[in-house]
Structure 1
């Protein structure tokens, strides 16, 4: 795979990295692809149509999409539309990379170490109070750590999926890691009459009772964080410590201010209605771009596969509709256990300010900002190791 150098920058297509000296510059996959195509063809002008074909595979996207990727590429290179030191706009035709490019041969990478195996898990089932069948899984050894269910999980597939595999693998090393699929998702019943936030909290209660747990730390990720907060407020005798990551107290419809934010919240529902069940992944890739903006093409493909396998198009709409109405601000004030809140500093799906809001609401809480753009942390980014270290230290206190 080619490696190109221009000034202090290195574009390494094998590692899928743009580096400035030793520092890796985070860019979205499509921005990286646009930059790669321009640098790889720096001896000529690249037309807009060629970029559309190369980066978007010929799918119809508006010209604004290309313009925004060009702007982001320039920003990553400390360039802009006025100076055009690296990317020149050729009016009416396209763009040309005008930096001085040096081709390099990439040094052979050392053989990759085999990934640690995911521990064996035991999957069982219990019934919620209204009869809905819930699937739960237990993996690892040590003190218990329960994860409140969140959207898009599948107990049988998660240990293979790059989206969740490292969560199961790494948290099962130190703890008896307990997780479950929420109603309408994964191995739990997809046909569930009731689909409310209170049902999700009650489902967590059912799993805890089925396992006979008395007191345990509770982990909540994304919307599962709100479920964990509500459970901790309702059962202060059960939850010893609370860990939240990418969580929020208010759903998108509740926190939306002004018409633009309300339209953005409604767009989630419309995308799920129109595109969730289609073979063409273009609609679902909108979610991938929000949850994993720094993910690779492989990460996005894995996320798309996860979306299709975990729930039906109808349930996806029901989930998103209910997520938008979440509001646990009052419950958050009633949480009495020590709480660790971690949030990606540049989270595209749930901005950092909503993690800060949770830290303001929960009395005995501490906020840690993670250096990431991703809503769901990936296995290879440094923020994942920071997350693990913070969890271990917090639960060991």
Structure 2
């Protein structure tokens, strides 16, 4: 597998200093030098290094976390040759080269375009090759995504051997938070605006979570532009719309009421429960990282507005008009969006195929087998 340079160098440093616990501060200084980065960047690089050697944050048979001290390489080591010295490591910094592929925010230039109502939308692209446009979904930040375990592996995986184009939804990330409109139709219009600003002609389109419904609506509106459609953790109808009886309607209303209270008061207990719905197989630390990222991506008021609009989404009456081949990928035990919603999309979209992955997570993590399967299905689908 391809391992981005900083994660590889981090792994080498840990192997070299395997006789001791290496403090976080030392790793940050060695790997990033004078560049200021948060500990989240170190966490992301460690996750990548662990994935490369078959380790996990819970297993820790290779890289052990020593609470409040740092990290230590603990697997057996056979020294073949002394090819890396501490002095050599300190004499150079690890910088990406053209052959390394996308490694982070330093690989992208963020640009802005304006929707018809004046809302400013941030967009960027990274990687090289044929394009893949990712429709915006909630909880993104074009810059901070590179240092959060929620999205960093998505960016690197999706930008592998292709040009990944993405943007922040209005009300979120680097796009304007105070906007004239905040409706589903506005989100589809924003996707149109970005496509025109980037100058894309015909391209595959990816929609994740509620971004899937936006992608469906755009594909129906512009069949001449969308060559292939990929829907991940998506749904055709929001929770209020798909409620079949009074009990389900009451549950949907209660879920929204709890969300309003939790977001408005930024109640950490609620926000952790909310995070666990997206990452039920995550650790408490991962839920806290998820929550911290949420707070950086949008305001509490917008968080409520997003959830209210999500509940009202309904593209079930137009999905049958999608004219391109469509790949629908969903976690079998998704606790945020039931797999039945993926089945509904597959039944509605004529030329579609459904792939169900073994996972409980709404947003796949880098350390579960389903993640590599997800990327493999996308690669195969786009190569057809």
Q: Shared topology, TM-score over 0.5?
A: yes
Q: Spell out the pairing of 1:263-342 with structure 2 (5 A cutoff).
A: 263-276=250-263, 278=265, 280-342=267-329
Q: Is 1:118 matched up with 2:104?
A: yes
The TM-score with structure 1 as length reference comes to 0.71
2:369 to 360, 364, 382: 382
The Cα of 1:289 is off from its aligned counterpart by 1.3
- Distance in 2 (alpha carbons) for counterparts of 1:349 and 1:280: 20
Matching residue of 2:183? 196
- Distance in 1 (alpha carbons) for counterparts of 2:153 and 2:57: 20
Q: 1:382 to 1:234 in 2, by over 3 A?
A: same
The TM-score with structure 2 as length reference comes to 0.73
- Distance in 2 (alpha carbons) for counterparts of 1:183 and 1:268: 23
Q: 1:141 to 1:315 in 2, by over 3 A?
A: same
- Distance in 2 (alpha carbons) for counterparts of 1:110 and 1:150: 43
Deviates more, 1:210-219 or 1:297-306: 297-306
Matching residue of 1:20? none
1:108 to 74, 97, 104: 74
Matching residue of 2:236? 249
Q: Is the 8 A contact 1:271 1:284 kept in 2?
A: no
Q: Is the 8 A contact 2:127 2:160 kept in 1?
A: yes
- Distance in 1 (alpha carbons) for counterparts of 2:299 and 2:149: 21
Post-superposition Cα deviations, 1:159-178, rounded to whole Å, max 9, x if no partner, equal: 11110001111111221101
Matching residue of 2:125? 138
Q: Is the 8 A contact 2:188 2:214 kept in 1?
A: yes
Matching residue of 2:37? none
Matching residue of 2:58? 16
Aligned length in residues: 294
Bigger radius of gyration among the two: 1
Q: 1:279 to 1:222 in 2, by over 3 A?
A: closer
Q: Is 1:234 matched up with 2:221?
A: yes
More helix by share: 2
- Distance in 1 (alpha carbons) for counterparts of 2:310 and 2:246: 19
SS of the residue 1:208 aligns to: helix
SS of the residue 2:319 aligns to: helix
Matching residue of 2:15? none
Aligned-residue CA RMSD in angstroms?
A: 2.1
Post-superposition Cα deviations, 1:241-273, rounded to whole Å, max 9, x if no partner, equal: 000000000000001122332233223332332
Post-superposition Cα deviations, 1:126-178, rounded to whole Å, max 9, x if no partner, equal: 00011100001111111000000001111111111110001111111221101
Any stretches of 5+ residues in structure 2 without a counterpart? 1-55, 60-72, 78-93, 95-99
- Distance in 1 (alpha carbons) for counterparts of 2:192 and 2:57: 44
Q: 1:194 to 1:15 in 2, by over 3 A?
A: closer
- Distance in 2 (alpha carbons) for counterparts of 1:339 and 1:201: 18
Q: Is the 8 A contact 2:256 2:307 kept in 1?
A: yes
Matching residue of 1:160? 147
Q: Is the 8 A contact 2:264 2:304 kept in 1?
A: no
Any stretches of 5+ residues in structure 1 without a counterpart? 1-13, 18-106
Q: Is the 8 A contact 1:268 1:320 kept in 2?
A: no
Q: 1:255 to 1:173 in 2, by over 3 A?
A: same
SS of the residue 2:281 aligns to: coil
Q: Is 1:222 matched up with 2:209?
A: yes
